[in-house]
Amino acid sequence: MTLPPGAPRAQLTPIELERFAAALARDPQPWREILDLQVGSARSYAEIWSDDYVNAWAIRWSSGADTGFHDHDVAATGIAVLEGSVIEERLALAGPPIRRRFAGGQTFHLPAVAIHRVLHGGGAEALTVHAYSPPLRVQGAYRVAPDGALERDVVPYTEELGGKLAPQAA
């Protein structure tokens, strides 16, 4: 892949990541076919950028796709929605999750400290680009233990997240 304008030369801020994801999303042709070959799961994904400062993934979301609550360890995130819609929820202990909906053409970002989940927004499949800086290497996946305590599992960034923490348990 050729460098998009403003290719990173250092770690990016959340707002810079949002712009970087949007720049990658403007030319989906190099990586869209890879996602088209992945069928049969609610979520398909491919790494589309990786260097010392940023890695980025294209993700296709079908009905029922849900990451579950997770964090990106030390990585901030910028997300661009190309098609369809996704819902992003931030974990809140004082009430229900804080919910935001994003549709095609919209972008958003998250700080490294965010604990959130992303799920398909309904209707047609969604297509998103997620950029992480520093590059995503591990994630924390959250679950509720049998005694009701919130626990975090460390998950390699290449492993599929799967909705371990139900929204009503938050």
Measured between alpha carbons, how far is 157 from 67 in angstroms, rounded to an integer? Answer: 12
- Mind listing the pLDDT tens digit for each residue in 108-144? 999 999 999 999 999 999 999 999 999 999 999 998 8
- Mind listing the pLDDT tens digit for each residue in 65-105? 999 999 999 999 999 999 999 999 999 989 999 999 999 99
Measured between alpha carbons, how far is 168 from 170 in angstroms, rounded to an integer? Answer: 5
pLDDT at 39: 65
pTM of the model: 0.87
Number of domains in the chain: 1
- Whether residue 147 lies inside any domain: the answer is yes
User: Do residues 170 and 96 lie in contact, with contact meaning Cβ atoms separated by under 8 Å?
Assistant: yes
The domain of 140 spans 14-169
pLDDT at 34: 80
Q: What backbone torsions phi and psi does residue 105 show, to the nearest 5 degrees?
A: 95, -10
Q: How many CA atoms lie within 13 A of 160 on its CB side?
A: 13
CATH code for position 73:
2.60.120.10
User: Do residues 64 and 121 lie in contact, with contact meaning Cβ atoms separated by under 8 Å?
Assistant: no
- Whether residue 73 lies inside any domain: the answer is yes
Which residues on neighbouring strands pair with residue 88, listed in sequence order? 100, 118
pLDDT at 167: 39
- Whether residue 6 lies inside any domain: the answer is no
- Mind listing the pLDDT tens digit for each residue in 22-75? 999 999 988 888 877 666 667 888 899 999 999 999 999 999 999 999 999 999
- Whether residue 3 lies inside any domain: the answer is no
**Which position has the higher pLDDT, 1 or 30?**
30
- Whether residue 7 lies inside any domain: the answer is no
pLDDT at 4: 56
Measured between alpha carbons, how far is 93 from 109 in angstroms, rounded to an integer? Answer: 21
Which residues on neighbouring strands pair with residue 150, listed in sequence order? 144
- Whether residue 4 lies inside any domain: the answer is no
- Whether residue 45 lies inside any domain: the answer is yes
Confidence class for position 166, pLDDT limits 50, 70, 90: very low
Residue 141: name the closest of 133, 150, 132, 149 by CA.
150
Residue 128: name the closest of 49, 42, 57 by CA.
57
pLDDT at 162: 67
Which residues on neighbouring strands pair with residue 58, listed in sequence order? 46, 129
- Whether residue 49 lies inside any domain: the answer is yes
Measured between alpha carbons, how far is 83 from 25 in angstroms, rounded to an integer? Answer: 10
